[in-house]
């Protein structure tokens, strides 16, 4: 494989781009493949993995850093097998930061040589654990100069997940009260920063190690759910609750804290788990019925809205997240970095909870 230098990248312009031009620059590259579901030992870093042809609205990104998300380790272990098993081997990874190597014929928002960051949608088969990742135009945006590639790669997927719940579902606005259940993780921290930036009052629950960090991020109260009784420590009602934990107890508590007309959103929707358990033909209708029953129950008995929240590509959301990053109002701390050659060790550390914060894989 011949990887061009940065100087060569800058000579390829979107107007001059064609597939033949692209193919002469990179037709294969390194990628981490998952041939079957299971433990970290199954991850294989291979060379000479084919790079597909770009479609008109796609962007080829030369990867500099990708973060390890909980979705990556869950997918590796078999989450979503009802969808992905027939598509093995997979390339995991959602977040990315790097530079544009080539663009499709219809791309106008970014240009070759530009530093970008972004995130793939959750069902992508060819992920970002690769030297050259392919994303749609609305999945990337220019990287803020104030962020390194490592820092930038930790942000998009978590922030877009929080954006989906707070901005698209609950449509939060200035002056509202927001409760983030489980604010210590990346999605919870992003949600706090998004809500604070929107002019909301934010309360969160978290472990003791996260209390000071979440207060510094703008939360008015951070309750240690181990040392304190959340239902006694938190006062008043809320306009929206984002539950990043999503177990029956946090759902009960979150629902009880809502005002009439409020929104409860959980990250732990059951569509994929039910489809994995019973197959797509039975599992997806069962999940739809379960969700509709809960929505009807809570709407009729409490006057609130109930939702399962998932990350989706959103160019408006990604652009807003970029602006918050540029203003210093959005940041997800990175705890540890690994070279991509140690991807197995990174996943093992995450599985064993040896590293409490964000892990980022760096590419040379």
The predicted pLDDT at position 19 comes to 42
Which residue do the tokens 């007309």 mark? 261
Encoded tokens for 7: 């100087």
Can you give the residue ranges of every domain in the chain? 28-154+333-362, 158-308
Spatial separation of the C-alpha atoms in residues 27 and 3, rounded to whole Å: 10
Nearest C-alpha neighbor of 275 from the set 110, 83, 140:
83
Spatial separation of the C-alpha atoms in residues 19 and 182, rounded to whole Å: 46
The predicted pLDDT at position 5 comes to 42
Spatial separation of the C-alpha atoms in residues 307 and 294, rounded to whole Å: 9
In sequence order, what DSSP letters do the residues of 13-57 get, joined into one string? -GGG--HHHHHHH-SEEEEEEE-SSSSGGG-EEEEEEEPPPPPTT
Q: Which fold has domain 158-308?
A: Rossmann fold (3.40.50)
Q: Residue 135: CB partners within 8 Å, gap ≥ 6? A: 58, 59, 61, 96, 118, 120
Spatial separation of the C-alpha atoms in residues 138 and 339, rounded to whole Å: 28
Write down the pTM of the prediction.
Answer: 0.90
Strand partners, 240: 178, 263
28-154+333-362 to CATH, choices 3.40.930.10, 3.90.180.10, 3.40.50.1820, 3.90.1170.50: 3.90.180.10
- Of the CA atoms within 13 Å of residue 53, those in its CB half-sphere come to 7
The predicted pLDDT at position 25 comes to 61
Spatial separation of the C-alpha atoms in residues 309 and 168, rounded to whole Å: 10
Binned average pLDDT, 10 residues per bin, the chain of 364 residues: 40 39 68 97 96 95 97 95 94 97 95 97 94 97 97 98 96 98 96 98 96 96 95 96 95 96 94 90 93 95 95 92 97 97 97 92 94
């Amino acid at each position: 494989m011949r990887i061009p230098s940065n100087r060569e990248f800058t000579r390829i312009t979107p107007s001059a781009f064609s597939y033949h031009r692209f193919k002469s620059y990179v037709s294969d590259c390194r990628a981490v493949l998952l041939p079957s579901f299971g433990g970290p030992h199954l991850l294989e870093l291979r060379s000479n993995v084919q790079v597909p042809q770009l479609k008109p609205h796609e962007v080829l990104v030369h990867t500099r850093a990708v973060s390890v998300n909980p979705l990556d380790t869950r997918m590796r272990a078999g989450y979503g097998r009802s969808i992905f098993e027939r598509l093995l081997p997979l390339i995991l990874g959602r977040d990315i930061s790097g530079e544009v190597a080539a663009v499709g014929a219809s791309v106008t928002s970014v240009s070759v040589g530009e530093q970008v960051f972004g995130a793939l949608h959750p069902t992508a088969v060819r992920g970002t654990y690769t030297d050259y990742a392919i994303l749609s135009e609305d999945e990337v945006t220019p990287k803020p100069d104030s962020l390194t590639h490592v820092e930038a790669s930790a942000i998009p997927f978590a922030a877009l997940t929080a954006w989906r719940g707070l901005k698209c579902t609950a449509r939060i606005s200035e002056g509202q009260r927001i409760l983030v259940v489980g604010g210590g993780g990346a999605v919870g921290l992003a949600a706090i920063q998004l809500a604070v930036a929107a002019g909301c009052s934010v309360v969160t629950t978290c472990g003791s190690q996260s209390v000071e960090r979440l207060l510094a991020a703008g939360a008015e109260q951070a309750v240690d759910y181990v040392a304190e009784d959340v239902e006694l420590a938190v006062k008043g009602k809320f306009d929206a609750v984002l539950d990043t934990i999503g177990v029956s107890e946090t759902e009960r508590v979150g629902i009880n804290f809502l005002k009439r007309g409020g929104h409860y959103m959980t990250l732990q929707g059951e569509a994929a788990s039910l489809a994995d358990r019973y197959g797509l033909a039975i599992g997806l209708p069962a999940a739809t019925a379960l969700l509709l029953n809960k929505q009807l129950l809570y709407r009729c008995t409490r006057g609130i809205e109930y939702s399962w929240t998932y990350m989706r590509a959103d160019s408006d959301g990604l652009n807003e997240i970029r602006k918050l990053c540029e203003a210093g109002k959005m940041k997800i701390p990175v705890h540890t970095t690994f070279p991509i050659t140690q991807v197995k060790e990174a996943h093992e550390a995450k599985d064993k909870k040896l590293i409490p914060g964000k892990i980022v894989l760096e590419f040379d």
